[in-house]
Chains A and B, each alone.
Chain A
Amino acid sequence: MTNGIVYTETVVHAAPEQFIADAPYQMAIVSLTEGGRITARIEGSRVSIGDAVNFVEDRGGIPFFAKA
């Protein structure tokens, strides 16, 4: 996993129980350069549809991406 383009995104304010401490957080469906899509968390600055994003790291099974 390297990078991709934001296909869609949202900022979650009402989090499920296990992620209450993280809210509000942005997540996105990313269209990967190598093909396919993945649902990921976005860290750092907010992104919009069409923005290029880079894979940062996997934390406990959650892929994190950031604005390229």
Chain B
Amino acid sequence: MRPVAVIGIGKTAFGAFPDRDLRSLAVEAGQKCLADANVSPSQVEAYYLGNFAGPSFVGQNHLAPYIAGAMGITGVPCTRFEAACASSGSAFYHAVSSVAAGLNDLVLVAGVEKMTSQTTPKVTEILAGAGDTCGEVRAGATFPALFAMIARRHMFQYGTTREHLAAVAVKNHANGALNPLAHMRKVITMEQALKGKPIAEPLTVYDCSLISDGAAAVLIAPLERAAEFTSKPVKVLGIAQTSDYVALDQKEDITTLGAVVNAAQKAYKMAGVSAKDIEFAEVHDCFTIAEILASEDLGFVKKGEGGPYALAGHTCLRGERPINTSGGLKSKGHPVGATGAGQICDLVMQIRGEAGERQLARHSLGLAQNLGGSGATAVVTILGVA
């Protein structure tokens, strides 16, 4: 297997953009990414696109060649990957597999979602399609409801509190306020977070990520060729994608996301590192409870200690292990198909030392955790200086 490097990144701002269509967002991110690596469209050997629900949100299918063609990329494999909110994390995993195997050298990975053209109840319904539509969804479960039930159980088993959840929201908003590409650049207080409008009890509007439009792209190459394109290659040290049941009621213990635990263990083994070595992470905080679960399932803290760890400030920008320096899905925004690729871009920015006001002092080893549904897909990626 050949070592793989990220040689270029590109992102649009995340937000609500009524005058932008899905394709223009994906093209912007792709072109920025190619420009970052000084690569022309004709050099791209494959285009892997993560997108959850373009057909439902905007009525467009056959998205990968549709977008690639608009960038002048033709005559190569162009494929869409769908794994709910882990769609572009999965696209990235398969792209790395392809380059590592020697099938391709330059693969452009992207993620895009255009969500804000639909009403919130309609978006809620489309997103619920990532759950079990013959069971939990038919009974009336939304994604906030599924994660609310996880939160309730976590509170019951481990004593997690509303303050613990709110601490995640306050921290991520503080980080997002410093990110020029974030959807909601607004600092919030603990008091605000605790008094939010209820969405699915115990989760309030401040526990839920945003409905956003946006795109992100990552260009990868064999590490041995990286110097042709960039002076700051970032190495893919470890990566794994795993799965679990789609329905929450089929999981034995819903306070642990088994797919995340498995993916993390595989990725750590591949990278030859352990959880304690990870300096910073971008995790999938679709809901505040999901960031608490991630900090536990990735092995940063013991099960049940994720809430107190967040409240104590250890995951803040100046804490011992910063989590979601981008603002996370909570504040940066969550255009679901773009989120996995966006996390990779955010890690690369930190590792290259290009994260501006959010730049960390220790930034040589980072981890991204991308989640699909209520844990049926998990992708964990470990990146480091090449």
Interface residues of A (CB under 8 A from B): 7-20, 22, 24-25, 27-29, 37-41, 49, 61-63
Contacts and interface: CB of A to CB of B under 8 A. Distances in A.
B140 A12 contact: yes
Contacts of B142: 12, 14-16
B150 A25 contact: no
A17 B249 contact: no
B329 to A, nearest CB: 17
Contact of A63 (B122, B139, B148): B139
B232 interface: no
A68 B136 CA distance: 22
Interface string B115-151: 0000111101100100000011011111011001110
Nearest to B255: A8
16 contacts: A7-B153, A10-B152, A11-B200, A13-B197, A13-B200, A15-B121, A16-B142, A17-B122, A20-B121, A22-B140, A27-B149, A29-B249, A39-B136, A39-B141, A39-B247, A49-B156
B57 to A, nearest CB: 14
Interface in B32-74: none
Given A15-B124, A41-B140, 20 more contacts: A8-B149, A8-B150, A8-B153, A8-B156, A10-B152, A10-B202, A12-B148, A14-B144, A17-B121, A17-B122, A24-B198, A29-B149, A37-B250, A38-B135, A38-B249, A39-B249, A40-B139, A41-B139, A49-B153, A62-B139
Contact of B145 (A12, A17, A18, A22): A12
Nearest to A30: B249
A19 B140 contact: yes
Nearest to B252: A37
Contacts of B248: 29, 39
Interface string B140-182: 1110110011101100100000000000000000000000000
B200 A14 contact: yes
B156 A14 contact: no
Interface residues of B, number: 34
A40 to B, nearest CB: 6
A55 to B, nearest CB: 13
Grouping DSSP codes into helix (H, G, I), strand (E, B) and loop, the A interface class, with mixed when no group exceeds half, is strand
Contact of A37 (B145, B201, B249): B249
Contacts of A39: 135-136, 139, 141, 247-249
B199 interface: yes
Given A10-B148, A29-B249, A39-B135, A17 B200 contact: no
Contacts of B120: 14
Contact of B201 (A7, A11, A15, A40): A11
Nearest to A19: B140
B139 A10 contact: no
A17 B153 contact: no
A16 B149 contact: no
B5 interface: no
Question: Which of A11, A24, A41 has most B Cβ within 10 Å?
Answer: A11
A13 B201 contact: yes
Contacts of A15: 121, 124, 140, 142
A25 B124 CA distance: 16
B199 A25 contact: no
Nearest to B151: A10
B254 interface: yes
B137 to A, nearest CB: 8
Contact of B200 (A12, A22, A37): A12
Given A8-B153, A39-B247, A14 B138 contact: no
Given A17-B121, A18-B125, A39-B135, A10 B149 contact: yes
